[in-house]
């Protein structure tokens, strides 16, 4: 009977530990989601402000993107040309934009986000793949499509 009580105590401790571990993981995941959505807001604002250095600093060294304005995908090293061509001047300070979140999935150090970017009367679908390196998130890849 004593062995049964010991076994019950051990199982209870393991169950509590597992429950706390799962709870902590969901809180951590929720925290990472908030961080990533805030980074997306910063990224869009950097485009609005034509802050090329900010945009480029958010791209991973292995970045590969395919904006709808380009016929082919582009790597980080050709990103400056794209930014100069399409985001050469800041938008008016009263220009408002909105992100309509569509989905997010985080798996270890990789995250994928889908959202609609709403500006003026237009809507653009955006997909970004983020990678976490040394506790910092970077955009590894992206694609957009004007609706």
Is the pLDDT at 22 greater than 90? The verdict is no
pLDDT of res. 24: 43
List the one residue out of 102, 115, 110 whose CA is nearest residue 131: 110
Token pair 């998130």: residue: 137
pLDDT digits (tens, 9 = 90+) for 67-103: 988 999 999 988 888 888 889 898 888 888 889 999 9
User: Model pTM?
Assistant: 0.79
pLDDT of res. 23: 43
pLDDT digits (tens, 9 = 90+) for 27-73: 588 899 999 999 999 999 999 999 999 999 999 999 999 998 899 99
Is the pLDDT at 19 greater than 60? The verdict is no
CA 79 – CA 131 distance, rounded (Å): 18
3-state secondary structure 24-93: HHHHHHHHHHHHHHHHHHHHHHHHHCCCHHHHHHHEEEEEEEECCCCCCCEEHHHHHHHHHHHCCCCCCC
The answer to whether the beta carbons of residues 126 and 116 sit under 8 Å apart is yes
How many domains does the chain contain in total? 1
Taken in order 118, 119, 124, 125, the sign of the CA dihedral is: negative
List the one residue out of 87, 14, 76 whose CA is nearest residue 47: 87
When pLDDT is averaged across residues 113-131 and rounded to a whole number, the result is 92
List the one residue out of 132, 4, 2, 138 whose CA is nearest residue 60: 138
pLDDT of res. 29: 82
* Both tokens assigned to 19: 């429950």
Long-range contacts of 23-32 (CB under 8 A, 24+ apart): 29/106, 32/106, 32/111
Is the pLDDT at 126 greater than 90? The verdict is yes
Q: Which domain holds residue 87?
A: 2-146
| CATH code assigned at 7 | 3.10.450.50
Burial of 88 (C-beta count, 10 Å sphere; 0-12/13-18/19+): exposed
């Amino acid at each position: 009977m004593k062995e049964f009580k010991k076994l019950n105590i051990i199982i209870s401790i393991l169950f509590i530990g597992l429950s706390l571990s799962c709870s902590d993981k969901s809180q951590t995941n929720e925290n990472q989601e908030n961080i990533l959505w805030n980074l997306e807001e910063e990224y869009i604002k950097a485009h609005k402000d034509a802050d090329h250095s900010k945009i480029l600093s958010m791209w991973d060294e292995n970045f590969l993107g395919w904006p709808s304005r380009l016929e082919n995908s582009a790597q980080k090293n050709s990103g400056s040309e794209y930014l100069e061509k399409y985001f050469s001047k800041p938008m008016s300070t009263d220009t408002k934009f909105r992100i309509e979140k569509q989905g997010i999935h985080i798996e270890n150090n990789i995250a994928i986000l889908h959202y609609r970017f709403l500006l003026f009367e237009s809507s653009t679908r955006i997909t970004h793949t983020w990678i976490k390196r040394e506790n910092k998130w970077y955009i590894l890849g992206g694609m957009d499509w004007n609706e």
